[in-house]
Structure 1
Amino acid sequence: MTEFWQQEMAKTVDELETPMVLVHRAKLEQNVREMAEFAREHGVRLRPHLKTHKTWEIAELQLAAGAVGLTCAKLGEATVFLERGARDVLVAYPLVGPKIRRLFELMAQYPQAVLQTLTAELAHAQALSEAAVAQGVQLKVWLKVDSGLKRVGVEPGERAAQLFREMAQLPGLDVQGFLTHAGHAYGAQTPEQVRAIGEYEAHCLLETMALVQSQGEIQSQKQNASSLAVSVGSTPTVRISGAVSGVTEIRPGNYVFCDATQIRLGVVRPERVSLRVLSRVVSRPAGDRIVIDAGAKTLALDRGAHGSDALQGYGLIVGHEHAVIERLSEEHGVVRIPTDSHIRVGDVLEIIPNHSCPVANLTDHLTVLNHDGSLSVWSVIARGQTI
């Protein structure tokens, strides 16, 4: 374990139970504060994605810093946070089948809250419209545009503009504007590529909106086309796309923790990563190999977000740049080390995971290193939500 973190901690290393998912509160709060300051500086709303941390304590920090609401991917996640007091939640995922019914049940259960969702296809928008009319409510909905990830989303430009016009005519829908996620930035090889992706992320939405605005008043809505919102997400690109004039909302998630992927992309330096995994060496069966007690059930099997395979191993061992976590089984991590390494059985290693989001989702709680060196426990209340 690095001397910096060890000096701040009231407990000794020998007292630590491992593997431990540890969050440095001061670094976490700095990350939260700086993103909120960025949003204020550029006049955009901040609606952070909960998928990274899934904890109420961090959501409270984000809301207190100025977030206008929260973003999630599952109705189960939305339910957990609505139960805790969230009042504006965007479910940024296409809800189909019985999930449409469940969405409106949640709206009825929490009438004081605003629930929003997205669509990228006319048939799906029509299904949402029919359900909204049947319930006698107006549903806030966003049009998801594909800015290059090639996942969910309609092609930007005239195709998206035409779909927006058709959606605007549907009763029961209050179309907010355009939304995208440039997740393919995680596969970028250089900061220049990240910048190009972030710029296109914003401009493809703004150009699509301009096509809609050229049609003038949207007859079936009370709002004018000029008031449409433009929402971008993705931690690697948010400080690029979020700074483009005309963008009105940002939805980063990973920024609260960051990870080895953000380091590789040049988004942050290692010292800004607020989440680490502490793991103890349980065996050194050979001079060039150790085994640690953090396996796939702790570190996850990601080699990088969105299918990127650009990272070596399954996390960065801080202070041991030549050590590589080569293999993971469920409870074991096999690490290649130099034969002259001084690592011994019983040593606690500090690991920056490749992707912090699944690491948080794999644990029941986060151990938080407070400002005074004490440790607190924050429950990951929305982990494991599958529906």
Structure 2
Amino acid sequence: MEWYELTNAGQIDSPAIVVYKDRVKENISLLKTMIDDVQRLRPHVKTSKIAEVVQMIQEAGIQQFKFATVAEGEMLGMVGAKDALMAYQPVGPKVVRLLALVQKYPQTSFSCVVDHPEAAFAISEIFAAQGRRLPVYVDLNVGMNRTGIKPGPAALELYRYLDTLEGVQPVGLHAYDGHLHDTEMAIRKERCDAAYAPVEALAADIAAMGLPAPVIVAGGTPTFPIHATRKDISCSPGTFVFWDFGYADNLPEQPFQWAALVISRVISIIDAQHICLDLGHKSVAAENPQPRVQFLNAPAAELISQSEEHLVLKVKDSSLYPVGTVFYGVPKHICPTIALYEKVYVAAENAVSANWRVIARDRQIIV
């Protein structure tokens, strides 16, 4: 029997997500071997959005995390995470909700990123009114061109300005380089080092003006092995916990294991070479071109079309796949795929024995 096959698959309605608990543990253990100090790890929880998975990471000695939504932050508060950085500049009602998190979960040290003085001022006003000072990181644009301020004089001035505000306290720099995912490691490293150099220079300038040396949080999954070799910075991989075939193909130097699969079934036989599965784009992340999933027990199947609830495959002989046949698929992008499900089934020793709520998939838990 293959590692992914389930003896009690008949008890699981499809489509569904199955998380293989032992493989998650192995991925966490592997991550720890890839860095010199476990305290430098700050995993992003956007991949799992599951409290039980965060607890597994905590049990491995990792206590710092990153999150993007208030619900993800609340999940971290609920499990007693020691430190939680919101890698997203809160504006409008999100600032009030972040304050509510700080108040509701005092055992967790919350912080956020900022890249604009007006946003920083608004955050400061709300926190200062409650007699609080929120730790903040300046979000740097190192080439992603999505958020952040470019490292340089303007970023230095923003950091200086933050130190004058009553309701925020600048503590560090955040540099996400998600645009760097070259398969060739030498090229990726060269581009990563070039993007990081001005961050390092900015940190030196901050220290030179008399402020405490800033904490640096840098990178995501593709550049994790590169930033892990630097000293005294925090690294923020996320996908490692479940992995997917997009990163497996593109980042061969990172030998994490697939630990979360989509389960689907044949619901119709179209003709001698075509079958239809119940895996529409409501059930697997659809932002990438096809193939969006690879089937472990039908690797030669060709994806022909997909709609909301259906996936048509071309196979050599459709008689090999009777109606009801279970397909085990690896998503190309696991993070948004997990967010499509309200719960995951948990498997060990080829059987599902529990399920976990994807508690942070919603935009709101309590706060």
TM over 0.5: yes
Tell me which of 321, 336, 350 is aligned to 2:328. 350
Q: Does 1:211 align with 2:205?
A: yes
Aligned letter for 1:56? Answer: A
Change (3 A) 1:285 1:340: closer
Is residue 282 of structure 2 the alignment partner of residue 325 of structure 1?
no
Percent same amino acid among aligned pairs? 27
Q: Tell me which residue corresponds to 2:224.
A: 238
Report if the CA contact (8 A) 2:30-2:256 is conserved: no
Query: Match of 1:297, SS?
Result: coil
Deviation digits for residues 164-208 of structure 1 (CA, Å, limit 9, x no counterpart): 22222322322111112122135x454444333433454342122
Q: Pairwise CA RMSD of aligned residues?
A: 2.5
Rounded to whole Å, the distance in 1 between the matches of 2:307 and 2:150 is 40
Shift, 1:67, TM fit: 1.6
Report deviation, 1:137.
Answer: 1.1
Which moved further from structure 2: 96-105 or 292-301? 96-105
What runs of 5+ residues in structure 2 fail to find an aligned partner? none
* Alpha-carbon distance in 1 for matches of 2:137, 2:146: 16
- The verdict on how the C-alpha distance between 1:160 and 1:371 changes in structure 2, with shifts beyond 3 A counting, is farther
Alignment of 1:177-256 (within 5 A): 177-186=172-181, 188=182, 190-215=184-209, 217-218=210-211, 224-225=212-213, 228-246=214-232, 248-256=233-241
2:244 matched residue in structure 1: 259
Q: Say if 2:4 and 2:350, in contact at 8 Å, map to a contact too.
A: no
Pick from 285, 296, 318 the counterpart of residue 300 of structure 1: 285
CA contact (8 A) 2:152 2:198 kept: yes
TM-score (normalizing by structure 2): 0.90
In 2: Cα distance, 1:202 partner to 1:370 partner = 41
Structure 1 gap ranges (5+): 219-223, 304-308
Q: How does 1:119-130 map to 2 (within 5 A)?
A: 119-130=114-125
Most deviating of 356-365 and 261-270: 261-270
Instruction: Report the Cα distance in structure 2 between the residues aligned to 1:43 and 1:271, rounded to whole angstroms.
Output: 17
SS at match of 1:176: strand
One-letter code aligned to 1:5: Y
- CA separation in 2, counterparts of 1:134 and 1:208? 31
Q: Which amino acid aligns with 1:234?
A: G
Provide the rounded CA distance (Å) in 2 between the counterparts of 1:4 and 1:371: 8
Q: What is the rounded CA distance, in whole Å, between the counterparts of 2:326 and 2:45 in structure 1?
A: 30
Contact 1:234 1:253 in 2 (8 A): yes
Letter in 1 for 2:168: L
* Residues 1-387 of structure 1 aligned to structure 2 (within 5 Å): 3-6=2-5, 9=6, 11-39=7-35, 41-42=36-37, 44-186=39-181, 188=182, 190-215=184-209, 217-218=210-211, 224-225=212-213, 228-246=214-232, 248-267=233-252, 272-303=257-288, 312-338=290-316, 342-371=320-349, 373-385=351-363
Compared with structure 1, are the counterparts of its residues 131 and 269 closer, same or farther at alpha carbon in structure 2 (3 Å cutoff)? closer
Contact 2:77/2:107, CA 8 A, preserved across alignment = no
Higher mean C-alpha deviation, range 281-290 or range 91-100: 281-290
- Please say if residues 69 and 87 of structure 1, whose CA atoms lie closer than 8 Å, have aligned partners that are also in contact: yes
- TM-score, normalization: structure 1? 0.86
